[in-house]
Structure 1
């Protein structure tokens, strides 16, 4: 395994494309892992990755697959798989990444997507609730990125890591305020820049995507609120929630070999929400 401690002495592993590089934006031959892909945004991202020729997509999730997962797996025989993993447990993450490599011979991309939110006034949050959000959204995301990076280095793979951040890392969410959640996503977005800087020498790219309002089970209450239409009107832009699949293009680009010179950035996919 490569020595990651003596990084100062290592030459940079350039991500410059090869002379015969293909400029098609796709994930052909790539093994992609997505945390929290049994439902919601993660499942939508898996569908778009599969539609863009990913060889295999793994959902790494604590929950068991439901009907939506099974339906997508049926449409993509032997290309959409599930492994039980706890993103808050470093041993679980390492074991799962090792299992993917044992089964597929490689791993090329990690989408650190698993997360949770809780919308309520800041004065009502307990310390325990805040710590729970940070443990999953920040510590879990970092551990997944770290495990993937170590495996990329070990295998000599120019891998890609993409975090799911949020437009709440830029601006408050007036439709569903959550100061601790916004704090976790700001941490993730900021962490992206430093990891991109540190791991560039290994040929590893690190980026993030900041979704706006997305229709999932976690946002159902926001959309069901009686004043939702009014709130959307004053946000400006597109007065609706996105489908999870509408985020997928940004992730596919960042995972693809077309993005070999793209690292350390955040791509907002938010229908202009948060742009002011």
Structure 2
């Protein structure tokens, strides 16, 4: 590549707009290439159980300084047990469908730790039933949490990153149902919400890259949580897995954690606007 020109533009020629300079995303010369969350403060929505709790454990195991669960539910036994192992895993009761509640929680994190480096917009809900049976209130509830909740969490945290001068990372939990139908547990509205989540990440990544903010998503397949426990107990489970292909089991939520850690870490400084399917090859073709 030829060196950049240093010529002065002729008189009267328009100059480049420098009112909004881009944040450099190049690693520093003394950058450590270890994949780690050391010294980072991470917020995870819906982390009092399920996938969110698994992500929180893996983040703590990879040296995150603090991990906060932003969840409307009260901490359960598993959450409390993880806090005993990792005292810097904290919970803030948060309604992610309320912008006021989200902003209050993010402000509390910054007040307590002085910073925030990453957000996992993970809170979500599903309902499995035939498409003919869904009514408008059910769809509005699902979109309010899965789509609007993720969007406003990202927007509020991005503003905080910019205010603090932090090159932060946002990771949203999408789903393999954003790519293809789920034969084992069909839900047209759920797939639609997760497709919206996956798609919005691409545009947010483009818009916010000039601030050094990266936005990505992860699409899990079958994961063992309170919402999916019944799937592998179904007498048709074996036959359905033959139709899907892939690993004939549900994933432990912690098996997703490595991808979240990578996307939250500085090691992924050139990774933005992508989705990572983690589904035991289910739906990978």
TM-score (normalizing by structure 2): 0.93
Q: Which residue of 2 aligns with 1:21?
A: 31
Residue number among 155, 168, 171 corresponding to 2:180 in the alignment: 171
Q: Which residue of 1 aligns with 2:239?
A: 230
Q: Which residue of 1 aligns with 2:7?
A: none
Q: CA deviation at 1:8?
A: 8.4
What is the distance in 1 between the residues matched to 2:24 and 2:200?
22
Residue number among 59, 82, 91 corresponding to 1:82 in the alignment: 91
What is the distance in 2 between the residues matched to 1:70 and 1:219?
22
Larger radius of gyration: 2
Residue number among 188, 193, 196 corresponding to 2:197 in the alignment: 188
Residue number among 217, 238, 241 corresponding to 1:208 in the alignment: 217
Is there any run of 5+ residues in structure 2 with no aligned partner, and where?
1-16
Instruction: Give the root-mean-square deviation of aligned CA atoms.
Output: 1.0
What is the distance in 2 between the residues matched to 1:80 and 1:110?
14
Q: Which residue of 2 aligns with 1:51?
A: 61
What is the distance in 1 between the residues matched to 2:48 and 2:92?
10
Q: Which residue of 1 aligns with 2:81?
A: 71
Is there any run of 5+ residues in structure 1 with no aligned partner, and where?
1-6
| Mapping for residues 1-276 of structure 1, pairs under 5 Å | 9-77=19-87, 79-276=88-285
**Against the structure 1 CA distance between its residues 243 and 8, is the aligned structure 2 distance closer, same or farther, given a 3 Å change threshold?**
farther
What is the distance in 1 between the residues matched to 2:186 and 2:96?
25
What is the distance in 2 between the residues matched to 1:203 and 1:147?
16
Q: CA deviation at 1:64?
A: 0.4
Count of residue pairs brought into register by the alignment: 269
TM-score (normalizing by structure 1): 0.96
Q: Deviations over 1:78-122 (max 9, x none)?
A: x10000100000000001100000000000000000000111110
